[in-house]
Amino acid sequence: MIHDVSGPGVIKVFDKLKKEGLISVEKLWNPSKVWVAEDHFVPSAEKISAENIMKLTKFTKQYGIEKHFKYGMGQYGICHTLSHEEALVLPGEIYVGGDSHTNTTGALGAFACGLGHTDVAYVLLNGKIWFKVPETLYFKLNGKLPENVMAKDFILKIIGDIGNDGAAYAAMQFGGSGVSEMSVESRLTLCNMTTEAGAKNGIVEPDQKLFDYLAARGATNYSPVYGDSDAQYQDVYEYEASELEPLVAKPFSPENIAVVRDVSGIELDKSYIGSCTGAKYEDLEAAAKILKGRKVKIRTEVLPAAISIYKRAMENGLLKIFLDAGVTVGPPTCGACCGAHMGVLAKDEICISTTNRNFPGRMGHVESQTYLSSPLVAAASAVTGKITDPRDL
């Protein structure tokens, strides 16, 4: 997978190596296994971004890549969201993408791993790449998550416990009755933020729930892979779902975790419900549950992560709930999550966000602040204008 940042990066690598006489790129290894997203800088805010989209289009045409999800032409969205909405990756597969949150897709029972431009260029040309087989950390969740606690809270808890590099170079596997109970979308949230713990990949064992999810998207032909019964784990961490509660990651690091009730009352300027982490259908549903019949007190944006999700949100009345609450609903984009465009933060602005990172300057000005949270917490905070536990609304 490549998108409008890594794609032009890969094209640049090809151009450089061609100039050096190292390679010729007459054809790609297998264009039918490649897919392309336009997500980071769409809709284009200025001409460089627009030119990058043109470069992608030229590239996919030249090499016969058919799966190019184009902005303004039906289904498009954030690459990781498309991977599951369109069932582009299947259980048992090895999937690499030119984006760090490629880990997300491990929730579909695949080995899914993010790479840089040079590595992706190598894969596009050769269909292979080197990997060190990672050790595995196993995270077991006992019992069903309580009401108002989401998968986002669970993964924030884990990152707080093991730290930004707690899973460096390792695989993070999620299991236990709590994960079996979870929807596929919740599992995607868990795997998505394994990146923030430094993991090579996140993975959940396939089950009937996943097979049904994929079947609903037309995918039935694949070979699932399961863990061995005598698998050795580097570490096993066990959590009781009943003990989890709504959390935030405070500025300026995803490991900087606090219980929402311990920081409630912090005044906010903005609530952002978007990204591959926090704008899947169930994320929007969670936000709508809070916002129904209420008004937002601070600037609030909802950006569904793909057109298919946008459409379902419209058909099921979620968009009306958002608009009635005073929210601005935007198009799918990585946009402000990576400080690129469309709602970036000013100096001293404080934002609560369903996204995945809050390093200095991540969502805009280096002196802006981002609190990471679940969609429930982001929506509850939008209603009060302060960091708020949904249970206290």
Partner 1 sequence: MGKVIKYERDNIDTDVILPGTYLKLHDYDEIAKHAMEGIDPNFHARVKKGDFIVAGKNFGCGSSREHAPIALSHCGIKAVLALSFARIFYRNAVDGAFLLPIEIDETAYKKISENDELDINTEKNEIKNLTKNEIYSMKPFSDIISKIIAAGGLFKYKPD
Q: Which residues bind partner 1 (CB under 8 A)?
A: 5-6, 8-9, 11-13, 17, 22-23, 40-41, 46, 48-49, 52, 98-100, 102, 114-119, 121-122, 130, 132, 164-165, 168-169, 198, 200, 253, 338-341, 344, 357, 359-362, 366
CB of 149: closest distance to partner 1 in angstroms? Answer: 27
The answer, yes or no, to whether the previous bond of 252 is cis (omega within 30 of 0) is yes
117 or 280, CB closer to partner 1?
A: 117
Residue (317 or 360) nearer to partner 1, CB: 360
Comparison of 5 and 182: residue with beta carbon closer to partner 1: 5
Nearer Cβ to partner 1 (270/341):
341
Task: Look at residues 297, 204, 307, 196 and name the one whose alpha carbon lies nearest to residue 254.
Answer: 196
User: Residue 134 or 390: which CB sits closer to partner 1?
Assistant: 134
> What stretches of the chain adopt beta strand conformation (E)?
35-37, 67-69, 94-97, 111-114, 136-142, 171-175, 201-204, 235-240, 247-249, 257-259, 270-273, 299-302, 328-329, 350-353, 369-372
Minimal distance in Å, beta carbon 63 to partner 1? 18
Query: In sequence order, which ranges of 244-306 are alpha helices (DSSP H)?
Result: 260-263, 275-278, 281-291
Q: Which of 328, 304, 384 minimizes the C-alpha distance to 85?
A: 304
Residue type, 371: Y
Whole-number minimum distance, CB 374 to partner 1, in Å?
A: 21
Cβ proximity to partner 1: between 47 and 315 the closer is 47
Contact 167, 129 (CB under 8 A): no
Q: For residue 252, how many other CB atoms are within 10 A of its CB?
A: 15
What is d(CA 218, CA 6) in angstroms, rounded to the nearest whole number? 28
* Sheet strand arrangement including 136-142: 201-204, 171-175, 136-142, 235-240
Q: How far is the CB of 281 from partner 1 (least distance, A)?
A: 25
Q: How many whole angstroms from its chain centre is CA 276?
A: 3
Question: What is the closest distance, in whole angstroms, from the C-beta atom of residue 22 to partner 1 in the complex?
Answer: 5
Phi-psi category of residue 63: left, alpha or beta, with phi > 0 → left and psi -120 to 50 → alpha: alpha
Would you say 48 or 216 has its CB closer to partner 1? 48
Query: 247 vs 340, which CB is nearer to partner 1?
Result: 340
Least distance from C-beta 43 to partner 1, angstroms? 13
In the complex, minimum distance from the CB of residue 361 to partner 1, in angstroms, rounded to a whole number: 5
- What is each CA distance from 246 to 134, 351, 380, in whole angstroms? 31, 17, 11
Per DSSP, 326 falls in state T
Smallest distance from partner 1 to CB 98, Å: 6
